[in-house]
């Protein structure tokens, strides 16, 4: 399947949201029409995630007051049109920077980057409320597929045809694994379509320099695009799946899932700003009049969290996921490496033992083993050991059931 065909597939799957012509970059929620609730009412749901109300935000110098953003939501069809023109003009599915490392941390080996990503995935997973249990192995690999486009320019074609492997796993292995973990085919289809949309939007953002200026300084439009590139929607659906909760009225239509996916990204931004690592990012969401744009983002965050105070249990359960950026950012190696001048923390021996089961030793290049050893973290660990090393969760390297290399 070509990149263009992938785009057409997700366009059919997602359809339009509240903005005509926005498929596949649709949203159910119209952010600008979300009505603030009383800032002084305790929601009763504060045990689920951090309650950081609009009224409390000015207590923190890194936050402050809020302001409703001007509505730019109806510019999404123009973004869709721009992407479709790019696809028409670039039918070859090849770009000179495909598979280039974009982590910004002086990485030189794509498999090593994948290992760091796996570390990050498990770190996110714990903060989102998940456990490191074997039953969620392929859900965690899914999150890894959702994280890798941040750090590598992953070509959609290579992802789709299986040329690209994450630590030896193809996307097909992962999809089969999700089914074996008990997710229903329609839920797997939903998270797969979310992942395709993410890979495509991430790719366009990297290969088409004319895209970012269309979004810049437009809070609601930018937020909506960047949430697609983060695929927190698919990840939110997986977090619910670990609690045996399917996304409500079918994932695509689910408002709570959407609010949680937006808030997750914005809680991360607020915490990054507190650490001083948001400013200057290539795709920085508040580039321009930062002070004003940050006020607008906080307004959107507050509205999305209020949405999760709604009555159904599922929305409550998503509050922890939605507010998790506030506590995972200051804890995680991924962000502390940025604070540390973008220099990598070596994988420790204990980390390597946790990560080893996620490597499919049948197809991962030997360079990874070399990298681990060279990093000084693992001494004398050879490829076989990486593949079958005693694990913290009782799995072998190929997951609950072996997959063909």
d(CA 290, CA 219): 11
| Span from 72-80, 106-114, 190-198, 203-211 in contact with Zn ion (CB under 5 A) | 72-80
- b or e along 55-74 (b: 16 or more beta carbons within 10 Å of the residue's beta carbon)? eebeeeeebeebbbbeebbb
Task: Map the footprint of Zn ion across residues 214-243, applying CB under 5 A.
Answer: 220
For residues 69 and 234, which CB has a smaller minimum distance to Zn ion in the complex? 69
Tokens of residue 79, six digits: 């973004």
d(CA 229, CA 205): 9
User: Is the peptide bond preceding residue 24 cis, with omega within 30 degrees of 0?
Assistant: yes
HSE-up (13 A, CA, CB side) for residue 178: 29
Question: Does 29 interact with Zn ion (rule: CB under 5 A)?
Answer: no
Question: Does 71 interact with Zn ion (rule: CB under 5 A)?
Answer: yes
For residues 71 and 326, which CB has a smaller minimum distance to Zn ion in the complex? 71
State the nearest-atom distance from the C-beta of 278 to Zn ion, in Å: 23
State the nearest-atom distance from the C-beta of 225 to Zn ion, in Å: 13
For residues 227 and 403, which CB has a smaller minimum distance to Zn ion in the complex? 227
| Span from 29-37, 206-214, 323-331, 380-388 in contact with Zn ion (CB under 5 A) | 29-37
For residues 87 and 265, which CB has a smaller minimum distance to Zn ion in the complex? 265
Question: Does 34 interact with Zn ion (rule: CB under 5 A)?
Answer: no
Residues near 127 by Cβ (< 8 Å), separated by ≥ 6?
324, 327, 328, 331, 332
Mask 173-212, x = binds Zn ion (CB under 5 A)? ----------------------------------------
Q: Count residues contacting Zn ion (CB under 5 A)?
A: 4
Residues near 278 by Cβ (< 8 Å), separated by ≥ 6?
269, 272, 284, 286
For residues 76 and 236, which CB has a smaller minimum distance to Zn ion in the complex? 76
State the nearest-atom distance from the C-beta of 76 to Zn ion, in Å: 10
CA 390 to chain centre: 29
Instruction: Tell me which of 32, 101, 214, 326 binds Zn ion, using CB under 5 A.
Output: 32
Instruction: Tell me which of 10, 52, 63, 73 binds Zn ion, using CB under 5 A.
Output: 73
d(CA 127, CA 403): 29
Which residue ranges make up the site for Zn ion (CB under 5 A)? 32, 71, 73, 220
């Amino acid at each position: 399947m070509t990149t263009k065909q992938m785009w057409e597939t997700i366009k059919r799957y997602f359809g339009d949201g509240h903005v005509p012509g926005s498929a596949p970059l649709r949203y159910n929620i119209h952010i600008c029409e979300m009505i603030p609730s009383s800032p002084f009412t305790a929601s009763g749901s504060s045990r689920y995630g951090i309650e950081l109300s609009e009224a409390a935000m000015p207590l923190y110098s890194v936050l402050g007051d809020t302001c409703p953003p001007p509505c730019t939501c109806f510019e999404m069809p123009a973004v869709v049109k721009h992407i479709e023109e790019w696809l028409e003009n670039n039918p070859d599915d090849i770009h000179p920077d495909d598979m280039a490392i974009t982590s910004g941390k002086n990485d030189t080996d794509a498999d090593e980057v994948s290992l760091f990503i796996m570390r990050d995935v498990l770190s996110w997973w714990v903060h989102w409320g998940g456990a490191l249990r074997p039953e969620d192995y392929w859900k965690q690999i899914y999150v890894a597929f959702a994280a890798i486009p941040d750090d590598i320019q992953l070509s959609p074609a290579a992802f789709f045809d299986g040329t690209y492997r994450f630590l030896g796993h193809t996307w097909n292995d992962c999809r089969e694994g999700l089914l074996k973990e008990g997710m229903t085919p329609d839920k797997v289809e939903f998270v797969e379509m979310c992942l395709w949309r993410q890979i495509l939007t991430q790719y366009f953002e990297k290969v088409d320099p004319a895209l970012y200026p269309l979004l810049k300084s437009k809070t609601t439009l930018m937020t909506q695009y960047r949430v697609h590139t983060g695929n927190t929607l698919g990840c939110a659906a997986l977090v619910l799946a670990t609690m045996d909760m399917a996304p409500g009225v079918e994932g695509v239509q689910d408002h709570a899932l959407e609010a949680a996916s937006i808030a997750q990204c914005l809680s991360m931004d607020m915490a990054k700003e507190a650490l001083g690592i948001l400013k200057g990012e290539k795709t920085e969401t508040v580039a321009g009049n930062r002070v004003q744009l940050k006020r607008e983002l906080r307004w959107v965050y507050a509205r999305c969290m209020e949405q999760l105070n709604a009555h159904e249990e599922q929305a409550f359960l998503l509050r922890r996921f939605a507010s998790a950026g506030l506590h995972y950012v200051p804890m995680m190696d991924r962000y502390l490496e940025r604070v540390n001048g973008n220099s990598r923390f070596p994988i420790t021996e204990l980390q390597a033992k946790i990560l080893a089961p996620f490597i499919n030793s049948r197809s991962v290049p030997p360079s990874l083993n070399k990298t681990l050893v060279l990093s000084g973290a693992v001494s004398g660990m050879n490829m076989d050991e990486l593949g079958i090393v005693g694990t913290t969760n009782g799995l072998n390297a190929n997951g609950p059931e072996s997959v063909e290399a």
